[in-house]
Amino acid sequence: MGKKSEDRARRKAAAQARFEAGKPAMLARVPTADAPRHAMAPAPNAEPRLAPHLARAATVAARAPKTREDGSRFHARMTWCTTRADKDDHWSWGEPRAWSEEEWDETIHPPMRDLAGLTWGEIDKLASGSGHKMHHLHEVGDLIEEAQQRWVSLDLDQFDSVFRFRLSGQKRRAWGFIVDAHFHFVWWDREHSLYPTEPH
């Protein structure tokens, strides 16, 4: 090792020694009252905390049967709920959006309960006496204008299609949307008024 290298190494060692000797005095001058607090790191598998409405939605989604990787729900059993039901006020022709307790007990719940025992594939095969599918999708744009506007006001415009179940007779319908294999019941339609096939 040359003289210059030895001098450089000696100077570096001396500087390091001075630094180590002065470290306690430097640390004593650092104010600790305003020292930042360290955030606790979450546990590796901890779930994030969600707002209550998001937590409820996540619970519903977790319970709902999942579709296969190809996107088909037809192998899964139908599940349903009324958490997104629109029961406020009336339609412009005077029909209340909310169902009565009697309608629920006698007309809505029994067939929906029975349908929930079937897979979506089985539901898809159900036909009326004339051979038409009893339960099927529509484009939201197929509905009357008032229903289309209401769909948007309910923040459902992310769904381009609406599913309808035919319940208990020729005219009664349950309208809603499907996520995975779960049907969200939105409207109870007593007289087939939301689909423009006859005057209201």
Q: What is the pLDDT of the chain when averaged over all its residues?
A: 83
**What pLDDT is recorded for position 199?**
45
pTM: 0.64
Nearest CA among 52, 57, 141, 144 for reference residue 93: 144
Report d(CA 82, CA 183) in Å as an integer: 9
**What pLDDT is recorded for position 24?**
79
